[in-house]
Copies of this chain bind each other. A is one copy, B any other.
Amino acid sequence: MQRRRFGIIKPEIRVLGVDDGIFTPHVESCVPVVGVVFRGGYWLDGVMHTEILVDGFEATEKISTMIKASPHYKQLRIIMLNGITFGGFNVVDIQTLNQLTGLPVIAVTREKPDLPRIRKALKHLPGDEVRWKAILNAGEVFEIETRQKPEKIYLHATGVSLIDAEKIVRLTSTRSNIPEALRVAHLIASGISHL
């Protein structure tokens, strides 16, 4: 794990929020994945995109390639994902993503991940053990307080301490309970999806 230590976290820290678009479950097709660069929680600085296969295995590699090819790569301090499953069960291995990019990775969800339910769903897919291993690689899930108590959100983190991850999430959650980069990545990915 490449761990990054944050001293003082600047309000203008460059963060990337990544989310996928809309797709028909279990149908072989591509789904857009959008990365949004924010300065802290206020200003959108750039947008990148790639495509992944529904229930494929290449999300980690595609997202890493997208980030490293971006002119914003060198300014980025952290990657935030909307959960760890993209395009259905194309699982992002956050440890591998951390190693490939050299950046800390946080996966944020509003609901607590229901691992027994996920494991059961995976049984219907080829390569379920590979997918399950990537999910376990995300490690422990932490419950954290949002600005608007008593609401909680949940996160996996790698390459960054839980305390720093919490600080960054709260600093950048300006409009809602989740970081603005993730809220906007969701709106863009949904808005550009063809159904």
A residues with a Cβ closer than 8 A to B are 32, 34, 42-49, 175, 184, 187-188, 190-192
Q: Which residue of B lies closest to A43 (CB)?
A: B175
**9 nearest A-B residue pairs (beta carbon):** A47-B191, A47-B188, A49-B192, A47-B187, A44-B184, A48-B191, A192-B192, A43-B175, A188-B188
Distance to closest chain B CB from A69 (angstroms): 12
Contacting residue for A44 out of B32, B34, B49, B187, CB 8 A: B187
Taking a contact as CB atoms under 8 Å apart, the answer to whether A47 and B190 are in contact is yes
Distance to closest chain B CB from A31 (angstroms): 13
Inter-chain contacts of A191 with B (CB < 8 A)? 34, 46-49
Task: Give me 13 other A-B pairs in contact (C-beta within 8 A), A47-B190, A47-B191, A192-B192 excluded.
Answer: A32-B192, A42-B42, A43-B175, A44-B44, A44-B184, A45-B187, A46-B191, A47-B187, A47-B192, A48-B191, A49-B191, A49-B192, A188-B192
